[in-house]
Amino acid sequence: MLDRKFILQNVDAVRSNCEKRGVACDVDRIVSLDSQRLASLQLAEELNRQANETSKQIPKTPDQDARNLLIEQGRELRQKKEAAQQQHDQLDQEIRELISAIPNMTHPDVPEGGEDDAVEIAFGNQPVKPLDFRALDHVDLGAKHDLFDFDAGGRVTGAGFYYLKNEAVHLDLALQQYAIRFLCDRGFTPMTTPDLALTSILEGIGFTPRGPETQIYSIENTELNLVGTAEITLGGMNAGQTLSAEDLPLLYCGLSHCFRTEAGAGGRASKGLYRVHQFTKVEMFAFTLPEQSDEIHLRLKDLECELFDSLEIPYRVIDTASGDLGGPAYRKFDLEAWMPGRGEQGEWGEVTSTSNCTDYQARRLNVRFKRQGQKGTEFVHTLNGTAVATGRAMIAILENHQRADGSINVPTVLRPWVGKDLIG
């Protein structure tokens, strides 16, 4: 969340930012409630002072009736103080709830607008080339080579679940192994993370785990939820902790299953593996000093590009527009792979994204750091980025590496793990 003091001192900027991001936030009500909160706090402090002064007079008063009167006055003052404190706490809680709905501020270079207003900023090493044969989509390629079983997934678990089979299993594991080795060689600490997290951790990261619009599967009668990304578990790892500035940045790559309800999702572009309820992902996560986060964000983007260049997949990178940013993101880059089997002539499809969340998540999770020789602590900055979501990466590999006879080249970097050069 944003700092309360920052909001109160920058009301117009915060209001304008909410409008750019298409989020309805009552900033003026926060200002009004905070004024009432301060009045309640001052009243509680004054009543507490009067009650203390009254208590000091009791031992000095010899007359019992006068003593009883002072005792009664002290009791009334304490009761009024408690009522003022309770009002303060209620106002403070209401302000916190309103602030929690306010999105992060936005990087000045982020384009304004919605989904269609994103700006292309880079392209991959592999150019988009029209195929000289009719491209099959990954569903048809999977049927041709017996790679998936969506029908069995539907029978056992429901729509949006699936079985991987044969070379698809080897390809899925190869992507995990390759991405982890790729990141370890670049200074990341590998982690496998829990598939469940507490509601408080999800809320700290910026997810809404309960309610009609949630994308999260929650466990009934518990405070546990299935995670939609290792961003949740990696970010929550240091909740309530104070780190040393000398240890930052901390770079992690987390392997986890991901579970999403995908409420409201649908359409031709979402078929097959593109939008499913469970998948495996290798996620990058960084805890940094505030002055490091912009540079680290560009580094995460470049690592995603390097990884997909090595998989020999055409892609473009877009700077996501303000109205399409999630609440915690200060800036977000999406990498969209070319998927020749999508649509009539091929389409772009998102395969990774990376976000700089500045201190938005750290403030909610209370993750701080201390600089050597300085008093007090500051909030860290947090960043996240997809290294590889295996399902979507598999779509891009199958469709871009297909050949005229229907067989599929295995990208060179994955062959040691897949165990063959060609599928089919």
**Given 2.40.30.10, 3.40.140.10, 3.90.420.10, 3.30.930.10, which CATH number is that of 115-423?**
3.30.930.10
Q: Give the architecture (CATH level 2) of 4-100.
A: Orthogonal Bundle (1.10)
Q: Where are the domains of the chain?
A: 4-100, 115-423
Measured CA to CA, the distance from residue 266 to residue 207 in angstroms comes to 21
The region that residue 187 occupies, defined by phi over 0 for left and psi between -120 and 50 for alpha, beta otherwise, is: left
Query: Mind listing the pLDDT tens digit for each residue in 227-239?
Result: 999 999 999 999 9
For the chain, the residue count is 424
CB count, 10 Å around CB of 62?
Answer: 7
Please give the average per-residue pLDDT across 27-46, as a whole number.
96
pLDDT band at 394 (very low <50, low <70, confident <90, very high): very high
Measured CA to CA, the distance from residue 406 to residue 423 in angstroms comes to 9
pLDDT band at 255 (very low <50, low <70, confident <90, very high): very high
Please give the average per-residue pLDDT across 293-313, as a whole number.
98
Contact 378, 368 (CB under 8 A): yes
Pairing of the two strands 278-288 and 250-259: antiparallel
Contact 12, 31 (CB under 8 A): no
Is the pTM higher than 0.75? yes
pLDDT recorded at residue 68: 86
